[in-house]
Amino acid sequence: MKRIVLVMATLFFVAGLSLAEEKKEDIKFGLGYSQFIINNNNNDVAISQAAYRIWFNDTLGADFTLGFQNSSTNGESNNTFLLGGKVLGKIVSVKSLDIYWLAGLNFGSTSVAGESSSLFRLCGGVGAEYYLLPCLSLLTELDMSYISQKDNNQFGIFASWVPQAGVRFYF
């Protein structure tokens, strides 16, 4: 698990450095925070995620997330690890607002009281990113997802201002 985290952090760092060296007018990248809700032991758990977003040009981008959650409920240890990625495409872009389509997947693992299960999520939907400043944005997303988790497969629409929200700071 530590090796995977170290490899992903190194990849994010190297990608950021290489893009900073070759920065073009239309490429922008940002770091930020997102939340994602999963069902862990029949309780909804908000997973905090570090996020890396890059817009390759005015219409196409990608978003990568890495999340951890360590908590204790009723004396039982709950641990969650998530890794995700999305492809983004702008539909409409006005002065301070971008509306985009998204397609992505997440995978990870959860562990409750020593019993672990894997998680897989495939999604497609739309999102909105509002720029408070040219380098600071708030975002929210609405998606239709298939989530597979031990004894808990779900298909449905998942949306809210809190669960699918985030903030990005662009460089």
- pLDDT tens-place values along the chain, 171 residues long: 555 545 555 555 555 545 445 545 678 999 999 887 776 556 667 788 899 999 999 999 999 999 988 877 677 777 888 899 999 999 999 999 999 999 999 898 877 666 777 888 888 989 999 999 999 999 988 888 887 877 666 665 655 444 567 899 998
* Residue whose token pair is 């040219």: 134
The verdict on pTM exceeding 0.95 is: no
Tell me 171's DSSP state: -
CB count within 10 Å of CB 126 equals 15
Per-residue pLDDT, 72: 72
Please state which CATH number belongs to domain 2-170. 2.40.160.20
Q: Concatenated DSSP letters for 140-152?
A: EEEEEEEEEETT-
C-alpha span between 152 and 150 (Å, rounded): 5
Structure tokens at 42: 């029949």
For the chain, the domains span 2-170
Q: How many CA atoms lie within 13 A of 21 on its CB side?
A: 5
